[in-house]
A and B are shown apart, each in its own frame.
Chain A
Amino acid sequence: MLRVEHLSKSFDGPPTASGQAPERLDVLRDVTLSLKPGDSASIVGASGSGKSTLLYICGGLDRPTAGTVTLGDIDPHTLDAKALAAFRNRRVGFVFQDHCLLPQCSVLENVLTPTIVTGTTADDLDRARTLLDRVGLSKRLDHRPAELSGGEKQRVAIARALVRQPALLLCDEPTGNLDRETADSVTALLLELHAQLQTITVVVTHNPDLAARCGRQFRLVDGKLAQ
């Protein structure tokens, strides 16, 4: 279960040339959200509305100004750096808009990247191969990211996000850099895997089709989350 309760996040605005105190920006205001395993949710909103920030806070990459986030019974923001890293490694999978593949590694190695932390086992390897088979890249295991198309790269990123069988899959604009056709394909894949693996999936997107195909749809307006 993912619980987000009364979450707020504020930033200082950019420093002013005149030396006056910077303006305070409230990006998230009292956001509350609850998702159970098997749930999928989309968050839409204008650029700069705080969608990615909410996603990063849920995944333990960012820290709220107020409020709590719990996944299962763990609030990642109470963990020390090492435990937080382990939390992210075991419980959370990330898919970013620009896929963030390591150019020096092959497709298979990219998928296995999260297993570096604990050491890659034979099971990890099998799982990685299986995932890549499921995303349709079983014949591209040894290819480098530079040799893949945008859609293929994002498929690799999805496989990487799922290789540790996370409880929570966070996708930040996963189709943002893709053409419509490829975006549809990636969307289908994402939802198919979600259905199979029953992960809690949160997708931040501008893609209305993707947003609509998620179980729950949220809109972030003025820092507030509306369903």
Chain B
Amino acid sequence: MTPTALALRGLRYYWRTNLAVVAGVAIAVSVLAGALVVGSSVKASLRDLAVSRLGHTDTLIASTGFVRTALAADLAKGGDVGAVAGFIALDGLAADGTNTRRAANVAIYGVDDAFFAFHGVPAPAGDDGTFGGRQALVSPALASDLGLKVGDSILARLPSPSVVPSATLHGRRDALGKTMRATVREVLPPTGLGVFALRPNQGEVRAIYLPLARLQREVERPEHVNAIVTGRARDPKMDVAGLVKARLGLANAGLSLRAASGGSISLESASGIISAKAAAAARRALGALQSSTPVFAYLAHTLRIGERDIPYAVVAGVELDTLDPTGAGATGPIRDDQIWLNAWAAEGLGAKVGDIVTLGYDVWDDAGGMASRDATLTVGGILPMTGLGADPTLTPDFPGISDRTTVADWDPSFPVDLKRITKRDEDYWRDHKAAPKALVSYATADRLWASRFGRMTSLRMLPVPGGATSNGPEAQASLAARLTEALSLEDAGIVVQPVRQKAIDASEGTTDFGQYFFYFSFFLVVAALLLTGLFFRVGIEQRLREIGLLEAIGLPPSGVRGLFLREGAVLAAVGSLAGVAGAIGYAALIMLGLRTWWVGAVGTTALRLQPDALTLAAGAVAGFVTALVVILLMLRQAGRAPVPALLKGALEAGDAPPRSGRPTRSGRQARPARARVAAAWGRAALFTMVAAGLLLAGALGAIAEAGAFFGAGACAMAAGLFALSAWLRRPPRTPVPGAAWRRLLGLGAAGARARPGRSVLACSLIAFAAFVVVAVGAFRREETGSPDDAASGTGGYTLMAESVVPLMFDPATTAGRSQYGLDSPDLQPTLAGATFDLFRVRPGDDGSCLNLYRPDNPRIAAPSPAFVARGGRFTFAATIAAVSDAERSNPWRLLDRRFDDGAVPAILDATSLQYVFHAALGDDLVVPGTGGEPVRLRVVATLSHSVFQSEILIGDAAFVRLYPQQEGHRLWMVDGDPSRSAALAKVLEDRLTDAGLVVIDPAERLRSYQAVENTYLSTFQALGALGLVLGTLGLGAVVVRNVLERRREMALLAAVGYGPGDLRLLVAGEVGLIVIVGVVLGTAAALVAVQPALARQGGGLPLALIGGVVVAVAASGVLATLAATAVASRLPLVASLKSE
């Protein structure tokens, strides 16, 4: 006879009870491992989804401008990077042919045969045998949204990316975008190109494929693309960025060289202005050996002296002494208050040295209007009409001007009064084209016209003194090579992204579903473990005599514990193994839920169960260990009981003696009953105080609210359970006369006192489940903001409008309304009272809970300085404002803060910050800048449940500095009369159709975020309800067991004339006590815990929910009662009377 043999006998003999323990462990492991499997499955699904959507793409080479189509072919040479395809990718908007159904966030691709070949799909053959003309392929999601089928018309609205920045004089602000009409050639299948996406997102893919040549024509960039994809390189360590750099060339950086006067070479940009980065790279390339000088050419609308003026004259800012050291510059530099006229201009103005010239020029103001400004300068010299006096190479090519033969043919971006053009002006244009008519110092030009886009229109590279003076093609090629070498990809506006790897990384997700479902399932796990403990305890209580005997015959307590632990370990192991199978089932159920009932939380149905052995093993081991700990705790209590009590089958004996021979050494003295009661009350008081302390600490902000929530809730409930334990162990009261039903109920309730530990455990199960359901319900948000409340989540705005095309004009100004066609008198009643807050936007990854992928390149937005200065919108959850009153009273001003370490102040929605970015107030977030360089954003404030959950907000100045290419504003927050918001939305969408403006209700946006949050809460509640089911099982088990143990009592009552109804009442007394106390404890603890959240939300108690819980638990109680009485009624009366 060995302990193991004895344990095995016990396992077999008590198989019914053991089966219940195994079931409890299996449930716990199922839930625990299942939660982990859900997490790994979601990650794997997201990874598969993102990778499958990339097709054969491994790396994306994206240009903020455009690169030559030939670059793709250049990269393909040698085959190092596998397949290569260049294409145009733009974010736009699509509508059906009648413009009645629209879809936003549509990817518009311009592709050719090479693109189809890259993805290994045959190019669709059009009428002429190729993919071309007005054909379009659409993704199935877009076709579904717009109700499209083959042959239907589709409208694609896209930005018209201009090489010339709109914010510069020659930029076209009136270009709202392009609208292209095409015919659906094919609705793509929901695989391959039908779901092709370069940015990981689990949502539907809305895409249009247009012929590349057509799109290039529409965006006026023939032979250019803005994206190149490469396949998997033969060598995994292949440096694609290095290859791109090697094959770059100046043209792909938007730069060019041309021979200029005096043997110099002029570096120019297709945008008309050379960026600071390009200029710095060029200077690095030239080094100390070759000097260079900047030229800033600007078109002045007037040169005036007195009554005489010259219209539309190019004025160049130069360093005259450097540019022409032996000619005009030999006399020295142009003074900053001077202007030097060429002879033609001097003649036209009748100017002489010393005269005062008024230089009139236009600039775009922030509101989008053209503003005229003047500068008064003194004529410092007259240049002859040779050399610099008539040098057209000082002026870069301006589209719509340089390429025209007469001034009358100009098509500039700014208004030109052709009536001012004289024959003399036309003659000048014919003879000298855009040669500057006047020169100012470079410093003056820089002061007057510099912008974030650059501070020169060309960089003139002077011949090396004593060197070759040629500026011909060979010299230019040599210089171009040096310049290209010096240019980084960032300087060239090119970003090389290993999109496949990034997609895999991003699929790690913002949301660790494994962790979430572990949290969600936590109470379910606890319930299952309580159930395990309960059943094991029942088993132990069934065998107390056996324990007593084993100790009496000389097994030490540790030996007895070891014996039962062996049994427990076998049960836990079997339960864990069963739980592994259950985990797969549970995870499958959760995944099904995520694809169906809870799809609102994930926004995709592409999630598939993908269990892996390691996860399952980890869950099983964790469940096994936890179950073993629970079993040990149960044994510990039995181990404390005195042997004489155990021999009588009791766990607790009144004033039982100590069981050890040396109580003073071992300290294992059984406490008197009254001491146990006192200890239980003491613990109840202690936990009450801890709960209060946690709530206070949470309210004072000393600890995180989440910690306070769970901590206070758990402590409050523990306090209640200890109080119940004390109450159940109290001395019996003297019976008092009363009605039969009251006496029966009282007698039943007294049954709960027979096994107080068992009753407390059953009550814990009910209380836990009630706690979860009620607490989570209190966090449910249905608030959608109010247009009358600026502090609400919508900021009090009635509409928010987002455009595909950057909007350069302020719709609140006369010029803006005129530009957008909003100045029509019949629209004024609709527009009356409407105000607009403009936000700059850098498109990027959605930073809200709607995106399951990690937003590596998040969307950035910037409110206007006026908005920041005014403040008062939205509610801040937290700020770092402590320094100035201005920041405290208006935390938006924190965006104007300057940090010594260069970090940029940023404001995020508190929910996004916590759950998506996993950061806290004061933390730094690193996001890519324009060229992919890291930019540190410091969280200075968080917004509470706002509409800005998808973006990071930074200051206007910082935005302009970090993202100079992102022009204008793409987001309008509109405030107006709520009763007219629908009409206003229609007007805005109609008038700004070409800009791809989509107007939405901010409350709707808020609801979409809240839907996710609420779905998570629903999930939590559903799992809490499952916990309730377990609680019911536990309750039923306890009551049935108690009835069985009291069968003599029942039989006696039946023998003396009690009917089945009376017995039911007796059982109901016990069930009622457990259920009522459980619900009251769980609900009260939950309400205590969520009090801060309820107070902040201003909501009332979730009475309907509490009512629901009470009904559900009461129903479970009735079921338990019926089950127990059914068992009791089946027991034979006489046998029960005789039973021991």
Contact = CB atoms under 8 A, between A and B. Distances in A.
Interface of A: 9, 11-17, 22, 52-53, 56, 59-63, 76-90, 92, 94, 96, 98, 100, 102-105, 109, 112-117, 119-120, 160, 164
Contacts of B545: 98, 100
A78 B14 contact: no
B554 A77 contact: no
A85 B9 contact: no
A11 B655 contact: yes
Nearest to B3: A116
B14 A104 contact: yes
Contact residue range for chain B? 35 or more
A156 to B, nearest CB: 12
A82 B643 CA distance: 14
B720 to A, nearest CB: 22
Which A-B residue pairs are the 7 nearest by beta carbons? Answer: A89-B554, A104-B13, A85-B556, A12-B655, A112-B1, A104-B9, A88-B554
B658 interface: yes
B553 A78 contact: no
A59 B1140 CA distance: 26
B674 interface: yes
Nearest to B560: A85
Interface in B501-523: none
16 contacts: A15-B673, A15-B674, A15-B677, A56-B643, A61-B647, A77-B662, A81-B556, A81-B661, A87-B554, A89-B553, A98-B1140, A102-B546, A113-B6, A113-B550, A115-B1, A116-B1
A184 to B, nearest CB: 23
A63 B14 contact: no
Contacts of B674: 12, 15, 22
B12 A78 contact: no
B668 interface: yes
B232 to A, nearest CB: 64
Given A100-B647, A115-B1, A80 B549 contact: no
A104 B15 CA distance: 11
A90 B556 CA distance: 12
A60 B661 contact: yes
Given A17-B732, A109-B9, A120-B2, A114 B553 contact: yes
A116 B557 CA distance: 13
B731 A86 contact: no
A103 B13 contact: yes
B663 A100 contact: no
A79 B647 contact: no
Nearest to B648: A98
Interface in B1-45: 1-3, 5-6, 9-10, 12-14
A115 B551 CA distance: 13
A92 B677 CA distance: 36
B666 interface: yes
B423 interface: no
Interface in B550-591: 550-559
Interface in B124-175: none
Query: Interface centre among B12, B556, B733, by most A CB within 10 Å?
Result: B556
Given A15-B673, A80-B666, A160 B732 contact: no
B929 interface: no
A116 B2 contact: yes
Given A61-B552, A63-B663, A81-B660, A117 B559 contact: yes
Interface string B643-686: 11001000000110111111101101000111001000000000
Nearest to A93: B553
Interface string B613-655: 0000000000000000000000000000011100100000011
Contacts of A89: 553-555
A102 B549 contact: yes
A119 B642 CA distance: 25
A12 B548 CA distance: 22
Contacts of B665: 80
Contacts of A85: 551, 554-557, 559
B554 A90 contact: yes
A189 B642 CA distance: 31
Nearest to A170: B552
Given A63-B661, A80-B662, A14 B654 contact: yes
Interface in B704-735: 730-734
A85 B668 CA distance: 15
Contacts of B1: 109, 112-113, 115-116, 120
A80 B660 contact: yes
A63 B668 CA distance: 13
A81 B557 contact: yes
B661 A17 contact: no
Contacts of A56: 643-644
B2 A96 contact: no
B737 to A, nearest CB: 17
A115 B672 CA distance: 34
Nearest to B553: A114
B661 A77 contact: yes
B654 A11 contact: yes
B644 A61 contact: yes
Contacts of B663: 63
Contact of B658 (A63, A80, A96): A63
Nearest to A77: B661
Contacts of B12: 104
A54 to B, nearest CB: 12
A61 B643 contact: yes
B2 A81 contact: no
B550 to A, nearest CB: 7
Contact of B647 (A96, A103, A114, A164): A96
Contacts of B657: 9, 11, 62-63
Contacts of B647: 61, 96, 100
A12 B733 CA distance: 18
Given A63-B660, A83-B661, A86-B556, 20 more contacts: A11-B655, A12-B655, A13-B655, A15-B674, A17-B731, A53-B644, A56-B644, A61-B659, A80-B661, A81-B662, A84-B660, A85-B557, A89-B555, A100-B546, A100-B647, A102-B9, A102-B549, A104-B12, A113-B1, A113-B550
A63 to B, nearest CB: 5
A103 B5 CA distance: 14
Query: Interface centre among B554, B647, B732, B733, by most A CB within 10 Å?
Result: B554
Query: Interface centre among B2, B9, B657, B730, by most A CB within 10 Å?
Result: B657
A62 B545 CA distance: 16
A90 B412 CA distance: 113
A86 B661 contact: no
B475 to A, nearest CB: 99
Contacts of B10: 104
Nearest to A53: B644
Contacts of A14: 654, 673, 731
Contact of A12 (B6, B550, B672): B672
Contacts of B734: 17
Contacts of B677: 15
B808 to A, nearest CB: 84
Nearest to A102: B546
Contacts of A94: 552-553
A116 B9 contact: no
Contacts of A98: 545, 1140
A195 to B, nearest CB: 23
A86 B14 CA distance: 28
Contact of A79 (B3, B658, B662, B1140): B662
A142 to B, nearest CB: 13
B736 to A, nearest CB: 12
A1 to B, nearest CB: 19
A85 B12 CA distance: 27
Nearest to B729: A15
A113 B661 contact: no
Contacts of B662: 77-81
Contact of A88 (B546, B553, B666): B553
A74 to B, nearest CB: 10
Contacts of A160: 553
